[in-house]
A and B are shown apart, each in its own frame.
Chain A
Amino acid sequence: MSAAWQFYFATLIVYLGVDILAVWGLNVQFGIAGIGNFAFIVFQATGAYTMAVLTLGPPPVGSFQQYIGGASLPFPLALLAAGLVAGLLSVVIGLIGLRRVRADYQAMVFLVVSLIATSVVNNLTGLVNGPAGLSLIPKPFAGLGFGLVSYDWFYAGMTMGVCAIAYLFVRRLTRSPLGRAMRAARDNEHAAAAVGKNILGLRMTAFVFGGVLAGISGALLVAFIGAWAPGSWLYPETFVFFTAIVVGGAGNDLGVATGALLVPIVFLETTRYLPNFAAPGVVDALQWVMVGLLSLAFLWFRPRGLIPERRQRFKPDPATQRRPAPVLASGPAAGEKVGLDD
Chain B
Amino acid sequence: MHLLVASIGFGLVTASILAIAAVGFTLQFGVTNILNLAYGAIMTASAFLAYAITTSGLGIWAALAICSVASGIGCVLLNRAIYTPYVRRGTGLFGMIIVTISVSLVVEFTLQAIHGSSFVSLSLPATRSYHFGAMVFTGLQLAIIAIAVLAMLCVHVLLRYTKLGKAMRATAADPVLARSCGISTGRVIDLTWLVSGAMCGLAGVVLVINVTSFDTSTGGEFLIPIVAAAILGGVGQPYGAMLGAVIIGVSTEVAAGLFDPTYKDMVSFVILVGFLLLRPQGLFAEIATQKEVVA
Residues of A within 8 A of B (CB): 34, 36, 38, 95-97, 99, 101-105, 107-109, 111-112, 115-116, 119-120, 123-124, 236, 239, 242, 246, 278-279, 281-282, 285-289, 291-293, 295-296, 299-300, 303
Which residues of A are found within 8 Å of B108, using beta-carbon distances? Answer: 288
B123 within 8 A of A: no
The reply to whether A299 and B86 form a contact with Cβ atoms under 8 Å apart is yes
Which residues of B are found within 8 Å of A292, using beta-carbon distances? Answer: 101-106, 109
Contact of A105 among B82, B89, B99, B288 (CB under 8 A): B288
15 A-B pairs with CB atoms under 8 Å apart are: A36-B94, A108-B35, A112-B227, A119-B266, A120-B269, A123-B266, A239-B101, A282-B116, A286-B113, A289-B113, A292-B106, A296-B82, A300-B89, A303-B89, A303-B90
Contact of B99 among A36, A278, A299 (CB under 8 A): A299
The reply to whether B91 and A303 form a contact with Cβ atoms under 8 Å apart is yes
Minimum Cβ distance to chain A for residue B234 (Å): 11
The reply to whether A103 and B92 form a contact with Cβ atoms under 8 Å apart is yes
B76 within 8 A of A: no
B58 within 8 A of A: no
B221 within 8 A of A: yes
Minimum Cβ distance to chain B for residue A170 (Å): 21
Minimum Cβ distance to chain B for residue A93 (Å): 10
C-alpha spacing A296/B235, complex, angstroms: 26
A286-B223 contact in complex given A108-B97, A119-B265, A299-B91, C-beta closer than 8 Å: no
C-alpha spacing A120/B273, complex, angstroms: 14
A288-B109 contact in complex given A99-B280, A109-B276, A123-B263, C-beta closer than 8 Å: yes
C-alpha spacing A156/B148, complex, angstroms: 57
The reply to whether A101 and B224 form a contact with Cβ atoms under 8 Å apart is no
Nearest residue (CB) in A for B89 is A300
The dominant DSSP class at the B interface is helix
Instruction: Assign chain B's interface to a size class.
Output: 35 or more
The reply to whether A300 and B288 form a contact with Cβ atoms under 8 Å apart is no
The reply to whether A116 and B105 form a contact with Cβ atoms under 8 Å apart is no
The reply to whether B37 and A111 form a contact with Cβ atoms under 8 Å apart is yes
Which 4 A-B residue pairings sit nearest by Cβ, starting from the closest? A292-B105, A123-B262, A292-B102, A288-B109
The winner among B37, B86, B106, B113 for most chain A CB atoms within 10 A is B113
Which residues of A are found within 8 Å of B86, using beta-carbon distances? Answer: 299-300
Contact with A along B221-241 (1 / 0, CB 8 A): 101100110010001000000
Known A96-B273, A107-B35, A285-B110; 12 more pairs at CB < 8 Å: A101-B287, A102-B288, A105-B35, A116-B224, A236-B105, A288-B109, A289-B113, A291-B102, A293-B102, A299-B91, A303-B90, A303-B95
A107-B94 contact in complex given A99-B280, A112-B228, A299-B86, C-beta closer than 8 Å: yes
C-alpha spacing A41/B266, complex, angstroms: 19
Which residues of A are found within 8 Å of B290, using beta-carbon distances? Answer: 102-103
B207 within 8 A of A: no
C-alpha spacing A124/B260, complex, angstroms: 11
C-alpha spacing A115/B269, complex, angstroms: 10
Which residues of B are found within 8 Å of A120, using beta-carbon distances? Answer: 266, 269
